[in-house]
Structure 1
Amino acid sequence: MPGVLITYVHWVEALNHRVGRIIMWTLFALMGVLLWGAIARGFFHPQIWTDEMAQFILMGYFMLGGAYALQMGSAVRMDLLYTRWSDRTRAAVDAVTIFTLLIYLGVLLWGGIESTQFALEYNERRRGLWRPYMAPIKIIMCIGIVLMLLQCTAFLIRDVARLRGIEIKERAT
């Protein structure tokens, strides 16, 4: 397996690990926004921005943390047969499913980029009282999809290496 591919796998996994560890802290921002919304609703004038801001934070949390969740094996896997297969059979099946996931994420990124371009060009805002701009959250969505694409290509490289009898060792992050 070429050294550049092994370096790529290690680089992508280190990047997604760092991003995922940082994004975990956004749950505190989400809790703060929701707490402020509850306090303001009970004691002050209700804030119109807290519900939508909480939705945006949660969406960023899921999109930017998705690649890290994949890397950590948090994805749901139907292992009715999977656990009985050899490592090479698992790698072959994983390579096929990762390839289809790459196609799906590519189409999703294409639509996300077009939607982001529209939001930037026309200063798109969300309907409602607060009317926040949509471009920042759409940019975060595209970054999250790119991170997922990078992680999936790293998985594909690992699976192809495993099919060739080469094991790419995990690096300490």
Structure 2
Amino acid sequence: MLKTYVRVVDRFNRGVGRVTMYLIFVMMGILLWSSMSKAFFLPSLWTLEMAQFVMAAYFLLGGAYSLQLDSHVRMDLAYGRWSPRTKAIVDVVTIFMLFIYLFFLLYGGISSTNYAIQYSETSYSSWSPYMAPIKIVMVIGIFLTLLQATSIFIKDLAVALGRPLA
């Protein structure tokens, strides 16, 4: 059952991450339009804020994939010299800090999303878009990262116990 969980979560987050990678081009297109509209037409009100929303979706939805690829930032003073089993033991212990962080982030994100939906919250900018869509994306990204952290915890625990899943 744990192998199935790990396989499904890893496959799903890999797919989401690979699709999310292309959001950088969407953001570049928005910023290019922003530059062109300022130079040749009337400046667009929506471009800067929309680029911020796309960037937020880019890093929040890509967080689980980054975690899966082990491409996040790590203080590597001694870690790189340890055996895979020692690394797994340390990771099993330290991942609980990540779980706590993600739990509070998810709790706050759900609360903020409920508020945005309930009161039709809009941005304070002159464009004034609804905030619920980006907050929903935020909650989904945090939840996927929590699922991926759980998958990594299961894999590390298996290695620490001397029974790797793969």
TM interval, shorter chain, is over 0.9
Match of 1:9 among 6, 10, 17: 6
- Pair 1:37 & 2:37 matched: no
The alpha carbon displacement at 1:100 in A equals 1.3
Would you identify which runs of 4 or more consecutive aligned residues in structure 1 move more than 4 Å? none
Q: Which residue of 1 aligns with 2:71?
A: 74
Question: CA separation in 2, counterparts of 1:83 and 1:26?
Answer: 32
Q: Which moved more, 1:95-104 or 1:125-134?
A: 95-104
| CA-atom RMSD in angstroms | 0.8
What is the TM-score normalised by the length of structure 2? Answer: 0.98
Q: What number of residue pairs does the alignment pair up?
A: 166
In the TM superposition, 1:18-167 aligns within 5 A as 18-167=15-164
Question: CA separation in 1, counterparts of 2:87 and 2:22?
Answer: 34
Q: Which runs of 5+ in 2 are unaligned?
A: none
Q: Which moved more, 1:122-131 or 1:83-92?
A: 83-92
Q: Percent identity?
A: 54
The alpha carbon displacement at 1:86 in A equals 2.1
The alpha carbon displacement at 1:99 in A equals 1.5
Q: Which runs of 5+ in 1 are unaligned?
A: none
Amino acid at match of 1:129: S
Question: CA separation in 1, counterparts of 2:68 and 2:24?
Answer: 20
Amino acid at match of 2:61: L
